[in-house]
Amino acid sequence: MCDHHDKLRSNNRDLQSIEKQWDRREFFKKTSLGIGAMALGSLLQSEKLWSAVNPVAGPIDSLNSFAKNKLGLPHHLPKAKRIVYLFQSGGPSQLDLFDYKPKLKDMFGQDLPDSIRAGQRLTGMSADQTAFPIAASTLNFKQYGESRAWVSDAMPYLSEVVDDLCFIKGMHTDAINHDPAITFFQTGSQQPGRPSIGSWISYGLGSDNDNLPTFISLVSKNGSGQPLYSRLWGNGFLPTEHQGVQFRSGKDPVLYLGDPENYDGNDRRQMLDYLKKLNGMAYDAFGDPEINARIAQYEMAYRMQTSVPEVTDTSDEPDYIFDMYGPDSRNPGTYAANCLMARKLLEKDVKFVQLYHQGWDQHGNCPGGVKYQSKNTDQGTAALIKDLKQRGMLEDTLVVWGGEFGRTVYSQGQLTETNYGRDHHPKAFTMFMAGAGVKPGFTYGETDDFGYNIIKDPVHTHDFQATLLHLFGIDHERLTFKHQGRRYRLTDVHGDVVKDILV
Amino acid sequence: MAQKNSTPWVDYVIFGLTVFLVFCLIFESFIDLPSLVAWLGRWHPLILHFPIVLLLMAAVIGLLNQIVPKLLLTIATLSALVTAITGFFLGTESVPKGDLIFWHQWMGAGVAFLAVVWYWLSTNHLQQTYLVKGIQVVLILLVGLTGHYGGMITHGEDFLALPRSKKLEKIPEDPLIYEHIVYRVLDNNCIGCHNPNKKKGELLMTNINELLQGGESGPALVLGDPGNSELIRRLHLPMEDEEHMPPDGKKPLTEDEIQILERWIALGASDTLKLSHLDNSEPLAGMVKKMMDSGTENSWAKLPKVADSTLQNLASDYVTIKRIASNSQALSISVFLPPEYDPKNITDLKRIANNIVELDLSGIPLGEKEMELVALCKNLEWLEVDRTPITDMEFAKIIGLENLRVLKAYETGISDESVAVLKDFKGLKSLYVWETQISDQGLSELREALPSLHLDYGIDPELKTEFIEKDTIVDSIQ
């Protein structure tokens, strides 16, 4: 009983005749030898006759959490039940935020030694430079908390919560430009077309709250820069129900949750039932699984309208909560407001909330740019961590902060006493995690005195993804999906769980 | 002697079934069964009893030099074939086939083929030859083995194992690394041979001094130097090496177990070292905690079985029920507020109360009835009743939930009266009670009673004002 459900059967006459030819080919393939084979072959073809028992997964079934056990998931006891991934798009400068390199001050303006760069490829933006002058950060660094973690003064709020954070200073990735790098981080492949992390988790573990999407993405409106594409939260080849649902970054994150004036909503159910019938007919004719996904989304929207219209409404939050997230949090669609929204969604057991904040691409005016970006994000990030902590949610909620790569130690463009730019640097950068199952107040990995190469405990993008899945109780080597003749996984054929950062 | 076969069609049926079975086995990977045929496989567990009894009976009669009745042999052979074929159908339902099913399938097929050969020999008047005797002996053995493997598939591999006298004790909260962790690893893997009764290689491993004293190959441990310790060296040897421990045929140690021993030796192989002495970044701490976690999984193994269909019935759009890990009987339940709330949503969970380990009732207008249900969940470890209208009266219902580790009760009406209830949760590790009526005095009382408790009463007012001051700092950076 292997792969019946891959076969589409239609009621349309033209398609049926094609299917018959197809069946014949299957018939000969499966019954290659002998009279006994022929006898069994005729049995094989009776599949259609008995197909009533066949498991044709309806849209509701495929989201059902009990059916998920058939995937054998979770593989082990999960530490994390939900995650908020604060993606800092553009490549935040680790050298101006967390990776403190005091020795660089003495080397100001000197050329980066060839032994350090070791012929590494650079982007087209700085490869033609005649010199690679070392630029020490002009920001001040201090150590904070019991864990004595270094944070620059660009992030005063975050410095208060360092004892809850687990810094990974030895991150490295394969890609050197934004789009491939961010696609690599979110889907495990630089080429578009693979499912994103959130889709894999939705596919593997299902929903914890049937009234809300399992995977929601929020893009903040007060960041701008390299574009983001919906494929970053796309489902790739997984069933479409597992796609991330993007909330709008305005006053109404989800449109039409409330009823319009003079409409009581009473016949909506009836209307949807008829629509479902029509869609069912279309599915019978074309056998397109996207139609099932559409039916499922209509049902989801209906449940959101009837049960949780208030989920996107932050107006009942007390003032001190808004103050904690900062003044931006009253302005819907900003990073801080999205952080607050993320907390509300996580509280309602949405499994995967993905925030994106653009603009961390400081090719020029790096110190000012980093400060500006931090001003927009620092308070929100820190408040989210505090807020999750006081609600006891850090116990089973994972927080991830990071970009797609880091930035170079040498200045792109002209270096002055107070100003410099930094180019893309995939060989070493910093991320941090907090909450469920990761060590709090901990720093893992180390870079050399230039912050250019990793000298201790490197963590590759695939290792990070493997660790993330591990925290959710998933063995990254066993969550696979067969597509185009082979089984795919998030980490493809790579990735090791970074056990040293786990509690 | 056997009479001439008067019903040739029986021969044809047996021949046909044999050919079919051979075909099935050869083309296994190409076969894709229609559901109705696959369903026939479900009869396998019923039919299989016939060939076991009939074949054993026939074989014993034959071995006692009696004439085996033709009819008995015919029915036995037919039932063996049918059983093998239905068994094959049933086997196609589990892909990939495990070792157990693999062996069961091929031995079962062997039984059927041997029966057919015997049948064929007997129709050709060769009842009393040594060949037939041989077949009978092999059949008896094979039937026994096939049945045993089949039994292991349905009842579990250790179904027939003798009851183990040694029961694993729970690892205490702050374990001694040697006594509670290292000794357990040694006891599970080594002490079976290196004990005073067997003393293999002149080595005893029942205490640290014996390890230091060592055996034929010198001391097993070098304090602080796992690389030079004989014990560790042997664990790392390739499996096929003569000196690898545990020896051939015994289960090797897991990666984690080896690392636990290594780190323990590296840290000086102390017998007084406790988990709480270890630094957070010490890998040993992580591995010990992992081992303790698997200990809690073991305690869940004793939970009563609960069927998927039961869960399906109780779950709804507003009640999410999940198993904590697949195949675990421990449940994690979240309840969401439906448009029309009825306490029945929660009180219906009574049927599975013993299995509930995590229960999230945040934001539900809870009353007495619901809290009575919570009190029934004796194995509860994680409870969220935050943002609910409960007061001391309702809260008092849940006194005595001794397994509770995490309790969220912020934004509720509980006050100092509930401190007595809270004090009673001896295993409590984290408590969230901000925006409640509990006074500072109540909190300090609680801290005294449960010193290791992580108590969160929210962001204190001083910090709140600080946030607002901070706004100016950020502005100055700009």
Of B297, B308, B474, the CB nearest to A66: B308
Beta pairing partners, A88: A357
* Domain end position, chosen among B299, B321, B347: B299
In a domain, B165, yes or no: no
Same domain? For B457 and B316 the reply is yes
| AA letter at B337 | L
Instruction: Choose the mutation target among B467, B468, B472 for the interface with A, i.e. most A CBs under 10 Å.
Output: B467
Structure tokens at B156: 């579990």
Q: Are A363 and A421 in contact (CB under 8 A)?
A: yes
Q: Which CATH class is domain A70-501?
A: alpha beta
**B398-407: buried (b, 16+ CB within 10 Å) or exposed (e) per residue?**
beebebbbbb
Same domain? For B235 and B321 the reply is no
Q: What is the pLDDT of residue B109?
A: 93
> In 10 A of CB A375, how many CB atoms?
18
DSSP 8-state secondary structure symbol assigned to residue A312: G
Instruction: Choose the mutation target among B326, B329, B472 for the interface with A, i.e. most A CBs under 10 Å.
Output: B326
Q: What is the pLDDT of residue A316?
A: 85
> In 10 A of CB B385, how many CB atoms?
26
The alpha-carbon gap from B456 to the nearest alpha carbon of chain A, in Å, equals 6
Beta pairing partners, A447: A454
Residue B28 sits at the chain A interface (C-beta within 8 Å): no
Q: Are A396 and A356 in contact (CB under 8 A)?
A: no
| AA letter at B26 | I
The Cα A222–Cα A235 span in angstroms is 26
Of A39, A53, A69, the CB nearest to B35: A53
Of A44, A326, A392, the CB nearest to B471: A326
**Paired sense of beta strands A442-444 and A459-460, if any:** unpaired
**Collapsing DSSP states into helix, strand and coil, what is residue B382?**
strand
Q: Which residues does chain A have within 8 Å of residue B93's beta carbon, measured at their own beta carbons? A: 1
Q: Are B182 and B257 in contact (CB under 8 A)?
A: no
Same domain? For B141 and B195 the reply is no
In a domain, B467, yes or no: no
CB contact under 8 A, B430 and A395: yes
Residue B470 has pLDDT above 70, yes or no: no
Structure tokens at B208: 């640290």
Q: DSSP of A403-467, one letter per residue?
A: -S-EEEEEEES---SS--EEEEE-S-EEEEEEETTB-SSEEE-EE-TTSSSEEE--EEHHHHHHH
Q: What is the pLDDT of residue A503?
A: 86
Q: What is the C-alpha radius of gyration for chain A, rounded to an integer number of angstroms?
A: 26
Of B297, B311, B470, the CB nearest to A77: B297
CB contact under 8 A, A347 and B362: yes
Same domain? For B189 and B209 the reply is yes
Same domain? For B61 and B13 the reply is yes
The Cα B73–Cα A193 span in angstroms is 62
Q: Which residues does chain B have within 8 Å of residue A1's beta carbon, measured at their own beta carbons? A: 32-33, 35, 38, 92-93, 95
Q: Are A358 and A224 in contact (CB under 8 A)?
A: yes
CB contact under 8 A, B325 and A30: no
The alpha-carbon gap from A130 to the nearest alpha carbon of chain B, in Å, equals 33
Q: What is the pLDDT of residue B466?
A: 59
Chain A residue whose CA is closest to B296 = A77
Beta pairing partners, A166: A433, A442
Same domain? For B193 and B316 the reply is no
Same domain? For B291 and B397 the reply is no
Q: What is the pLDDT of residue A92?
A: 97
Q: How confident is the model at residue B96 (pLDDT cuts 50, 70, 90)?
A: low
Q: What is the pLDDT of residue B194?
A: 84
Name which of B180, B182, B171, B282 is nearest B231 in CA terms: B182
DSSP 8-state secondary structure symbol assigned to residue B274: B
CB contact under 8 A, A349 and B30: no
Q: Are B265 and B225 in contact (CB under 8 A)?
A: yes
Q: Which residues does chain B have within 8 Å of residue A386's beta carbon, measured at their own beta carbons? A: 459
> In 10 A of CB A30, how many CB atoms?
16
The Cα B193–Cα B373 span in angstroms is 50
**Collapsing DSSP states into helix, strand and coil, what is residue B161?**
coil
Q: Where are the alpha helices (DSSP H) in B377-429?
A: 392-395, 419-423
B314 to each of B339, B347, B380, how far by Cα in Å? 18, 10, 18
> In 10 A of CB A56, how many CB atoms?
11
Considering only residues 54 to 113 of chain B, which have any Cβ-Cβ distance to chain A shorter than 8 Å?
92-93, 95
Q: Are A394 and A385 in contact (CB under 8 A)?
A: yes
Residue B2 has pLDDT above 70, yes or no: no
Same domain? For B144 and B188 the reply is no
Q: What is the C-alpha radius of gyration for chain B, rounded to an integer number of angstroms?
A: 33
In a domain, B38, yes or no: yes
In a domain, B472, yes or no: no
Same domain? For B331 and B253 the reply is no
Chain B residue whose CA is closest to A74 = B325
Same domain? For B140 and B183 the reply is no
CB contact under 8 A, A392 and B406: yes
The Cα A380–Cα A357 span in angstroms is 12
Q: What is the pLDDT of residue B169?
A: 65
**Collapsing DSSP states into helix, strand and coil, what is residue A4?**
helix
Q: What is the pLDDT of residue A20?
A: 67
Name which of A372, A404, A19 is nearest A186 in CA terms: A404
**Paired sense of beta strands A442-444 and A165-172, if any:** parallel
Q: Which residues does chain A have within 8 Å of residue B336's beta carbon, measured at their own beta carbons? A: 209, 211, 307-308, 348-349
Same domain? For B182 and B98 the reply is no
CB contact under 8 A, A75 and B326: yes
Q: How confident is the model at residue B295 (pLDDT cuts 50, 70, 90)?
A: low
Of B27, B293, B336, the CB nearest to A209: B336
The Cα B426–Cα B402 span in angstroms is 6
The alpha-carbon gap from A190 to the nearest alpha carbon of chain B, in Å, equals 32
Structure tokens at B153: 């598939």
Instruction: Enter the ipTM.
Output: 0.77
Domain that holds residue B454: 308-462
The Cα A427–Cα A171 span in angstroms is 8
**Collapsing DSSP states into helix, strand and coil, what is residue B431?**
strand
Domain definitions of chain A by residue range:
4-56, 70-501
Q: Are A464 and A431 in contact (CB under 8 A)?
A: yes
pLDDT tens for chain A, 503 residues long, are 444 445 556 667 776 766 666 666 555 555 444 444 444 444 444 333 333 333 333 333 334 444 445 677 888 889 999 999 999 999 999 999 999 999 999 999 999 999 998 888 889 898 889 899 999 999 999 999 999 999 999 999 999 999 999 999 999 999 999 999 999 999 999 999 999 999 999 999 988 988 899 999 999 999 888 899 999 999 999 999 999 999 988 878 888 887 888 888 888 889 999 999 999 999 988 888 899 999 998 998 888 887 666 788 888 888 889 999 999 999 999 999 999 999 999 999 999 999 999 999 999 999 999 999 999 999 999 999 999 999 999 999 999 999 999 999 999 999 999 999 999 999 999 999 999 999 999 999 999 999 999 999 999 999 999 999 999 999 999 999 989 888 999 999 999 999 999 98
Name which of A57, A56, A65, A83 is nearest A210 in CA terms: A65
Beta pairing partners, B335: B319
CB contact under 8 A, A379 and B312: no
Q: What is the pTM of this model?
A: 0.69
> In 10 A of CB B469, how many CB atoms?
8
The Cα A384–Cα A389 span in angstroms is 8
**Collapsing DSSP states into helix, strand and coil, what is residue A149?**
strand
A66 alpha carbon, distance to own chain's centre: 24
Domain count, chain B: 3
Same domain? For B32 and B93 the reply is yes
The alpha-carbon gap from B203 to the nearest alpha carbon of chain A, in Å, equals 34
Q: What is the pLDDT of residue B257?
A: 86
End-to-end CA distance of chain A: 42
Q: What is the pLDDT of residue B237?
A: 86
